[in-house]
Structure 1
Amino acid sequence: MHCLADVALTPVGPAEYGFEEALASCVPILEKSGLTYVVHDGGFTIDADWQAATDLIGLLHQRLHDAGFERVHSDIRIGTRTDKAQTMQDKVDTVERQLAFPEQ
C-alpha cells in the first residue's frame, strides 16, 4: 500500500550536537533509501510504500540513538488513498493553483 508519511522527530538527551544537526545527520539514510522525501522544519515527509516508509522511520530512530540521543520521539501522520495515485507534489500543485486562482 502506497502512503505519504509525515514524520516529526524529536531527539532527547545527551548527544554531540543539536536538533538541526541531528536531522541533517538523517539525510544520508534518506538518500541511501532511494525513496522520495522532503525535509521540513521538524523532520521529513516520505512518499513510498507503507512498509518501506515505516522501515525507514525505524532507521532514522536508530541513527539518532547511535548519535547519542537517549530517547527519540516521533509524531507520525500517514495518509493512504485507494481512489487515485497522488504524490506530495500533486498536493502542492493543487494548493498553488488555488492560490493563483482562488474561487470567488
Structure 2
Amino acid sequence: MKVIADVCIVPLGVGVSVSKYVAECERIFEKAGLNPQLHAYGTNIEGEWDAVNEAIKNCHEKIHEMGAPRISSTIRLGSRIDRNQTMQDKIDSVKSKLGSAT
C-alpha cells in the first residue's frame, strides 16, 4: 500500500542545533527511494508502507548511533486506494486552484 508521510524527527539531549541529524535522515530517505521533500519543520516522504516505516526506523537507529539519548517523532501518514496520487500531484492540485501552477 502506498503512503505519503509527513515526518518530524527531533533528537533530544543533543543541544539546540539538530541539522546534522536531519541531514542523516534525509540521506536515509533518499537512499530508500522515498522522494524526500524537506520543509522547515520536517520532511514529506512517499512510498510503500513498509519502506516508509523501515526508513523512519533506520533514521531513529542512526540518530541514536550519533549519540542522541532520546528522540521525539511526529508522523502523519495518509493512504488512498481509489487512485494513485503523489505528493507533487497534491501540490499541483492546490496550485491549479490558485492559478499559479508551475
Secondary structure, aligned partner of 2:68: coil
Unpaired runs of at least 5, structure 2: none
SS at match of 1:75: strand
Q: Deviations over 1:7-37 (max 9, x none)?
A: 111110137x821222012222222212222
Q: Which has the larger radius of gyration?
A: 1
1:22-70 CA distances to partner (integer Å, 9 max, x unpaired)?
Answer: 2012222222212222112222111100000000000011111111111
d(CA) in 2 for partners of 1:100, 1:21? 37
Q: TM-score, normalised by structure 1?
A: 0.87
How many equivalent pairs are there? 100
Equivalent positions of 1:1-104 (< 5 A) are 1-14=1-14, 18-100=17-99
Aligned equivalents of 2:73 and 2:85: distance in 1? 24
4+ long deviations beyond 3 Å: none
- TM score, norm. by length of structure 2: 0.88
Percent of pairs with identical residues: 38
